[in-house]
Amino acid sequence: MTTATYDEKPKRNAIARWLAADTMNGIKRQRALMGFLFIAPTVIGLLIFIVGPMLYSFVLSFHEWNVFRPPEYVGFANFERLAGDSRVFVSFKNTFILMFMTVAILEVLAMALAILVKRLTGGLLGYFYRTVYFFPVLLSGASVAVMLGYMFHQEFGVINYYLSQLGMEKIPWLTSSNVVLITIALTTVWRNLGFTFIIYLGGVSALPEEILEAADVDGAKGWRKLWSITIPLLSPTILFATVTDVIKMLQFFDEPFIMTRGGPGDASRTVVMMMYDSAFGNLELGYGSAIALVLFAIIMIVTGIQFYLSRRWVFYG
Amino acid sequence: MATLSKNENQSYFASHEFQQLRNRINKFLGFGLLTVIAFFMIMPYVWVVSTSLRTPAESFTVPPEWIPVDFDVSNYEEVFEEIPFWDQMANSFIITMSVVIGQVFTASLAGYAFARLKFPGRNLIFWIVLATLMIPGQATLIPVFILVTRVLGLGDTLGALIVPSLATAFGTFLLRQYFLQIPDDYEEAAMIDGANQWQIFRRIYLPLASPGMAILAVLTFNAKWNDYLTPLIFMNTEERFPITLGIVRLQGYMGTGSISVVLAGIVLSTLPVIIMYIFGQRYLLEGLQVGGLKG
Residue B138 in contact with partner chain A when CB distance is under 8 A: yes
Whether A65 is covered by a domain: the verdict is no
| Model confidence band, residue A89 (pLDDT cutoffs 50, 70, 90) | very high
Query: Do A26 and A137 have their domain in common?
Result: no
Residues A176 and A297 both lie in one domain: yes
Is A66 inside a domain boundary? no
Residue ending a domain, choose from A33, A60, A87: A60
**A153 lies in the same domain as A39:** no
* pLDDT given for residue B5 in this prediction: 47
Cβ under 8 Å to B: A residues 141-180: 141-143, 146-148, 150-151, 156, 158, 161, 165
Rounded mean pLDDT, A248-256: 85
ipTM (interface pTM): 0.77
Residue B151 is given by DSSP the state I
Compute φ and ψ for B64, nearest 5 degrees. Answer: -60, 135
Domain-embedded: residue A71: no
Fold category of B86-290 in CATH: MetI-like fold (1.10.3720)
Regarding whether A209 and A175 lie in a shared domain, the answer is yes
Q: How many domains is chain A partitioned into structurally?
A: 2
pLDDT on residue A245: 92
CA distance B121 to chain A (A): 10
- Nearest neighbour of A38 by CB, restricted to B110, B222, B266: B110
Residue ranges for chain B with pLDDT beneath 70: 1-14, 56-65, 68-70, 248, 251-257, 281-295
Task: Point out the residue among B48, B173, B215 whose CB comes nearest to the CB of A202.
Answer: B215
Closest CA in chain A for residue B249: A142
Quick one: three-class SS letters along A7-74?
HHCHHHHHHHHHCCCCCHHHHHHHHHHHHHHHHHHHHHHHHHHHHHHHHHHHHHCCEECCCCCCCEEC
Q: What is the pLDDT of residues A47-56, one digit of tens each?
A: 999 999 989 8
Among candidate residues A238, A245, A271, the one with its CA nearest the CA of residue A256: A271
Contacts of A46 in chain B (CB under 8 A): 128-129, 132, 167, 169
- Same domain as A156, residue A13: no
- Are residues A114 and A6 part of one domain? no
Mutation target vs B (from A31, A42, A127; most B CBs, 10 A cutoff): A42
Contact B138/A194, CB-based, under 8 Å?
no
B255 to chain A, any CB pair closer than 8 A? The answer is no
Range of the domain at A50: 2-60
Query: Tens digits of per-residue pLDDT, A179-222?
Result: 999 999 999 999 999 889 988 888 888 787 777 777 777 766 67
Query: Is A73 inside any structural domain?
Result: no
On whether both A140 and A263 belong to a single domain, the answer is yes
pLDDT for the residue A40: 95
A9 within domain boundaries = yes
* Whole-number pLDDT of residue B103: 96
| A172 and A122 within one domain | yes
Looking at residue B59, what is its pLDDT? 65
A13 and A94: one domain? no
- Res B238: pLDDT: 83
Extents of the domains making up chain B: 15-72, 86-290
Taking CB atoms and an 8 Å cutoff, what residues of chain B touch A32?
117-120
- In a shared domain, residues A38 and A87: no
Shortest distance, CA A237 to any CA of chain B (angstroms): 7
- A68 assigned to some structural domain: no
CATH code of the domain containing A243: 1.10.3720.10
State whether A49 and A155 are in the same domain: no
What DSSP assignment string belongs to chain A?
Answer: -HHHHHHHSHHHHHHHHHT-TTSHHHHHHHHHHHHHHHHHHHHHHHIIIIIHHHHHHHHHTTEE--SSS--EE-TTHHHHHHHT-HHHHHHHHHHHHHHHHHHHHHHHHHHHHHHHHHHH--HHHHHHHHHHHHGGGGS-HHHHHHHHHHHT-TTT-HHHHHHHHTTPPPP-TTT-TTTHHHHHHHHHHHHHHHHHHHHHHHHHHTS-HHHHHHHHHTT--HHHHIIIIIHHHHHHHHHHHHHHHHHHHHT--HHHHHHTTT-STTTT--HHHHHHIIIIIS--HHHHHHHHHHHHHHHHHHHHHHHHHHHHH----
DSSP label of B52: H
